[in-house]
Amino acid sequence: DQQVKQNSPSLSVQEGRISILNCDYTNSMFDYFLWYKKYPAEGPTFLISISSIKDKNEDGRFTVFLNKSAKHLSLHIVPSQPGDSAVYFCAASDGGNQFYFGTGTSLTVIP
Amino acid sequence: ETGVTQSPTHLIKTRGQQVTLRCSSQSGHNTVSWYQQALGQGPQFIFQYYREEENGRGNFPPRFSGLQFPNYSSELNVNALELDDSALYLCASSLGPGANTEAFFGQGTRLTVV
């Protein structure tokens, strides 16, 4: 039972434009959400997080939006750069000791 | 500050064999979590170790077992390997057991069972 879903396996964006990666979840007990970025042959790297008490968190070019009523979050990257090309995983926690990951979205930023 | 390192990076085993994967946690971290990432899937939680004790387990059979040592490094053992165990195994270390604590991942061990 996939509690965190990323329905777009891939996304291509022109350099300089906005990249929007989406994530949906089903468990209303999730209270903390994260985005990880993964390059080939490397482990996932933490990118940005958001607590359920907020609806937006911004860190430089990266902004995460949380819509609790829709059980949806999104990651915005502005402006997109070729070095952002990677697989992005959305993850969620219910306060326990594990993350629940989505299946990932492969982002390609075209120069 | 050393990061999370895993060994080996690649491994090929035969169905029915046993395998041990190793993880050195980041300096100062006392918690290690193991995840399995099958092809095309997101990482799935196997279990977590905190101060040498198992601290939560995902939906994996008992043939998946682990250890954490006094220096907080960890091992993942899988007995009676099955073809479906072929996956990338990721280790993550953190300062504490709560999932709201940032976890740092190693590069993973790619296990192939033939």
* pLDDT tens digits, one per residue of B16-32: 999 999 999 988 899 99
Query: What pLDDT shows up at residue B101?
Result: 75
Query: What pLDDT shows up at residue B97?
Result: 84
CA distance B48 to chain A (A): 7
CA B44 to chain centre: 10
Q: Kindly report, residue by residue over B95-107, the tens digit of the pLDDT.
A: 888 767 788 999 9
Q: What mean pLDDT do residues A33-60 have?
A: 94
DSSP-derived 3-state class of residue A6 = coil
pLDDT at B1 over 60: no
Pick from A42, A44, A97: CB nearest B98:
A97
Q: Kindly report, residue by residue over A6-45, the tens digit of the pLDDT.
A: 999 999 999 999 999 999 999 999 999 999 999 988 899 9
**B42 interfaces chain A, CB cutoff of 8 Å:** yes
Chain A contact set for B92 (CB, 8 A): 43
Query: What pLDDT shows up at residue A96?
Result: 84
Selection from B93, B73, B72 nearest residue B21 by Cα: B73
CA distance A104 to chain B (A): 6
**B55 interfaces chain A, CB cutoff of 8 Å:** yes
Query: What pLDDT shows up at residue B2?
Result: 60
Query: What pLDDT shows up at residue B13?
Result: 98
List, in order, residues 6 or more apart from A28 with CB less than 8 Å away: A71
Chain B contact set for A91 (CB, 8 A): 42
Q: What mean pLDDT do residues A86-104 have?
A: 93
CA B75 to chain centre: 7
**Helix or strand run (H / E) with residue B80:** none
Query: What pLDDT shows up at residue B5?
Result: 95
| E strand map for chain B | 5-7, 10-13, 19-24, 31-37, 44-50, 53-57, 64-68, 74-78, 87-94, 104-105, 109-113
**Quick one: CA torsion of A30, B51, A36, A88, rounded to 10 degrees?**
-90
Q: Is A31 exposed, middle or buried (0-12, 13-18, 19+ CB in 10 A)?
A: middle
Query: What pLDDT shows up at residue A41?
Result: 84
Q: What mean pLDDT do residues B63-89 have?
A: 96
Instruction: Give me A65's structure tokens.
Output: 């939006």
Query: What pLDDT shows up at residue B7?
Result: 96
